[in-house]
Structure 1
Amino acid sequence: MNVSTDKEGGIRIKQHIIMPVAAAVTAVFLSGCAIGAGIETYLKPPKLSEQHEQIYSALINTEGSKINLKYPKSGSFLSAFVVADIDDEPTDEAIVFYEKTNYTANDFSTLRINFLDQKEGRWDSMYDFAAEGTEVERVFISKLGASDVKNVIIGTGLQGVKSAQLFSYNDEQKPEPQSLGYYAAMDITDINNDSMNELLMINCTPDGNTAQLKWLNENNKLVSSPVLELAGNVTDVLQMIYGKLNENTTAIYLDSYINTNTIITEILRPEVKDDTISLIRVTADNADSSPVNGTVRNSSLLSRDIDGDGVVEIPVNSVFKGYEDKPDTEQISMTNWYVLENNMFIRKYSGYYSITDGYAFMIPEKWENKVTVRTANDDIIFCKYDEKAENQTQLMRICVTSSEEAERIINEKEYADYVKISSNGDTVYLVCVPVYSGPLALSASEIQFNFKIIN
């Protein structure tokens, strides 16, 4: 990394960036260039543990050796081997995902799900099922509703279309898979805080978008809540997170695509009437007015709890002062973070947010409508606003660099005004405060308070 000064006295940093392997792989997965290709296409399978070797041997003794292991794409279980206690017996059971390489027209699907049990230290294949798809999307193991039975919920996919099956497993009889239908996103949650889990399923189809809860009653029968209709312009779900709506209510925040690079956020909450739970949409009276604009924004701006108070903030961009009439390519965005309170979106923070560098600096109250931002060789410079750029006074600048380079910068007299404000892994955030004693000057504690790492 090379360092030199720019014409405004800041630091010019030249660095060569190598995309991490994980990021490169993720980019492949999201590109859509290889429909139907599984994770095992891109990653070398890990060396099997001794336990997994024993399970694998038991599997091929029953199903033959012409198989390939399949790996779930997301969730807590990312191995082709899921080893867990799923029947409340003293020993663990195993589930293996694989596909047949000698697939024939008589087979329902190449993707298979095999349940194995352990008796006296030996693994035996008990049941084998055809799966609804070619890829394993996600796996859950959980009790649902009032039932004491542990369930295995498996989401599978076929060319982007995902469906789910529920297996209620016990040691006495073969589990009969129950179809849970199609979904775009699903999760296990205790959404109404009654100590009983529900399966939350979101579905997006050309015929409509819906949300629904599913659970088991005390007789192990599948029960579903009424179907909730969602926004009709949504095409897929980007993320689903939870946050406090108030002290007694947890809400579901859905960030969903309305086109390739644009998302909106829908908020759902549980409602219990006559001991029956359902979902309802929560809308804000000012949702469609400026500057909220229906929460429509770039898909890089994800909802999140940025300050750790349990409440989810929704980011929507505007522009900093002085950029209103500039072309889009020259504008610098101000990110406004909204929370829902009393059926209104309330702006909680505004500031400069760098998704690439993983931080935000929130505008303090005394800077409101008085400060703008400009850039100089990757430094972010906060200035007292004036219509004439040459009359703008620098108030603070932020530099993002590596830990090695940061140490060198801080120790050089030429950059003595730069101090470390935070770090995240090998990334270090430096702040330079020019000599300024006017009413907009910030103390060290104010700078620290308004600087936030956002991963």
Structure 2
Amino acid sequence: MKSITVLRLNKILRKASALMAVLCLVTMLCGCSAGFFSGDLLTSPRLTDEQTEIYNALTASAGRVDLRYPHTGSYRSAFVIRNIDGEPTDEAIVFYEQNKTDAAKEPAQNDTAVGNLRISFLDKDENGNWKATYELPAAGTEIESVAFSKLGSDEEKLIVSYSVLGSSDKILSIIDYKNGVAKQLGTIGYSSYTFLNGIDEKGEYLACFGRNGAKKNGSMSVYSCSENGELHTAFPVVSFGEGIAEFDKITIARCLILEKEKPCITVDYLTAENQYNTAVLYYKGSSFATADTIVMDSSNISYSRRTNNYTPKVQSQDIDGDGIIDVPATATLPGYENLTFPEQLNAVLWYRQNCKKIELTAYTFIDPGLNYMLVFPGRWIGMVTATINSSDNSVTFWKHEGELKENEYALLTIKTVLKNNSPSAQNATDTTGASRDGYRLFYEDSEKVVYCKSIVYAGLSLTDDEIEAALKVRPEGNGSPVLFTGSNR
């Protein structure tokens, strides 16, 4: 046998250790896609004294259990302690699975059960000790989120969102608990959901959104609970959109009908890769309706928008602070019309619907990194285009003269320096260099510095006051395109 020296053996062991470390890292990174439960991948947090008491009471009733945790939402613990029956004391809700060694002994009997995931309800006895009072099989295999709402009734309901392992299905379970008994009022299949508050004086509603039919039309069903505790649809189902691939964002907002503010819902959705659209649903007093059934001259307005490396994804929002929702659409900037879409720069146009007319709120350019939005003055629309310099993260706005090329009339240049990409010394260099190149500091926070420079050009140049009003910078810590006006020197 060929001998191995100590030095060579050490080298082999080091390589083997490095390989094992890589394999462990790959295993951890790929774990979620391998079909494991989140509870198997994460170490359970240490229980508080009260949670330990609840856990001991649960295991005394159900035997060995494996705790399960919601993936999203305000309630991320396997234990939820809350007063849900109107009595003076709190109840405890625990999400768990039977321990795998015991699961086969007591298979779920309820026809709504999907796996071994369960919900246990616990209350305190006359001595102040926790005891299990009721158990329900879950309607899914993974807990997505947990919420509570009265849904128009006098008593609070537990609303649990589930997913099903190996399926894209999502299920909402609405549960009522009183007198020590938990009752599932119903289950609802959905793609996205939200709560509607302030629609009328009857309280909060549950709005569920889904896709149906070969054309993938969207639909919204709104639910509430009657005085006797029955779950029912509160308004007629409303259909909207076409070719919906995925719901992106649902916003409860305000719109204008007959010049009066009314509740509305904007539904931003994906139609194809890098293509989005928006449906606007109005509340009419006894039902919801789509914009198409109310706004009579909307046939020539499209809320469609596309994204590429130069045009970021944006969603419906109130961009000017007037309390009315604005809906985005994209339009090609002058000079880019004959280029392929991946090469185009686009303006983002913002609209609001005012009863029988759709009004243009703003014509804007949004920085590819969502760091700022520039609102074009009226005299710029159709006259000014832009070019991007990726090497120094700057955007220059030019007078468009029939062809796409830079000229001497650079009306405005905006430069962004991201601090997390530059050490402090480099930031100082950038500041010095920017000043030398004619830039002035417009805005600075812990994440970024925004500079701008402009020239005087008859009719099209912007004054400092106009730049101050037009350039809206994203606040630090906010990753979404929620923008505000003004500098912060």
- The within-5 A match list for 1:441-452 is 441-452=461-472
Match of 1:67 in 2: 66
Match of 1:391 in 2: 407
Letter in 2 for 1:166: I
Q: Please tell me the root mean square deviation across aligned C-alpha atoms, in Å.
A: 2.9
**1:349 equivalenced with 2:362 (yes/no):** yes
Match of 1:379 in 2: 394
Structure 1 distance, partners of 2:184, 2:347, is 50
**1:418 equivalenced with 2:428 (yes/no):** no
Q: Higher strand fraction: Structure 1 or Structure 2?
A: 1
* CA 1:369–1:125: 2 relative to 1, 3 Å: same
Match of 1:157 in 2: 163
**1:368 equivalenced with 2:347 (yes/no):** no
Match of 2:151 in 1: 144
CA positional deviation for 1:270: 2.2
CA positional deviation for 1:265: 1.1
- Partner secondary structure for residue 54 of structure 2: helix
Structure 1 distance, partners of 2:328, 2:411, is 25
Structure 1 distance, partners of 2:359, 2:37, is 42
**Larger Rg over CA atoms:** 2
CA positional deviation for 1:251: 0.3
Structure 1 distance, partners of 2:324, 2:34, is 37
- Partner secondary structure for residue 448 of structure 1: helix
What stretches of structure 1 of length at least 5 have no aligned partner?
1-27
Letter in 2 for 1:228: V
Match of 1:106 in 2: 107
Match of 1:76 in 2: 74
Match of 1:257 in 2: 270
CA positional deviation for 1:259: 3.2
Are the aligned partners of 1:116 and 1:124 in contact in 2 as well (CA < 8 Å)?
yes
* CA 1:392–1:437: 2 relative to 1, 3 Å: closer
Counterpart selection for 2:417 from 401, 404, 407: 401
Match of 2:236 in 1: 226
Structure 2 distance, partners of 1:260, 1:432, is 34
CA positional deviation for 1:350: 1.5
- Partner secondary structure for residue 177 of structure 1: strand
Structure 2 distance, partners of 1:44, 1:337, is 46
Letter in 2 for 1:327: T
After TM superposition, the structure 1 stretch with the greater mean CA deviation from structure 2, 252-261 or 175-184, is: 252-261
Letter in 2 for 1:219: N
CA positional deviation for 1:140: 1.7
**1:199 equivalenced with 2:206 (yes/no):** yes
% identical equivalent positions = 24
CA positional deviation for 1:60: 2.8
CA positional deviation for 1:150: 0.9
C-alpha deviations, 1:175-217, integer Å up to 9, x for none?
2112132111122212523251111111223476421211122
* CA 1:133–1:248: 2 relative to 1, 3 Å: same
What stretches of structure 2 of length at least 5 have no aligned partner?
1-28, 475-480, 483-489
* CA 1:353–1:90: 2 relative to 1, 3 Å: same
Structure 1 distance, partners of 2:64, 2:117, is 15
**Bigger relative contact order, structure 1 or 2, given CA contacts below 8 A and separation 6+?**
1
Structure 1 distance, partners of 2:34, 2:211, is 19
- The within-5 A match list for 1:29-108 is 34=33, 39-40=38-39, 44-71=43-70, 73-102=71-100, 103-104=103-104, 106-107=107-108, 108=113
CA positional deviation for 1:387: 3.2
* CA 1:345–1:98: 2 relative to 1, 3 Å: farther
C-alpha deviations, 1:247-282, integer Å up to 9, x for none?
44110111123335433211112233xxxx332222
TM-score, length basis structure 2 = 0.76
- The within-5 A match list for 1:105-124 is 106-107=107-108, 108=113, 109-119=115-125, 121-124=128-131
TM-score, length basis structure 1 = 0.82
CA positional deviation for 1:133: 0.9
Structure 2 distance, partners of 1:48, 1:444, is 58
CA positional deviation for 1:287: 4.2
Are the aligned partners of 2:305 and 2:330 in contact in 1 as well (CA < 8 Å)?
no
Are the aligned partners of 2:147 and 2:159 in contact in 1 as well (CA < 8 Å)?
yes
- Partner secondary structure for residue 268 of structure 1: strand
Are the aligned partners of 2:297 and 2:357 in contact in 1 as well (CA < 8 Å)?
yes
* CA 1:192–1:156: 2 relative to 1, 3 Å: same
* CA 1:443–1:285: 2 relative to 1, 3 Å: same
- Partner secondary structure for residue 33 of structure 2: coil
**1:269 equivalenced with 2:282 (yes/no):** yes
Structure 2 distance, partners of 1:88, 1:308, is 39
* CA 1:248–1:351: 2 relative to 1, 3 Å: closer
Structure 2 distance, partners of 1:230, 1:161, is 21
* CA 1:252–1:371: 2 relative to 1, 3 Å: same
CA positional deviation for 1:435: 4.1
CA positional deviation for 1:392: 4.3
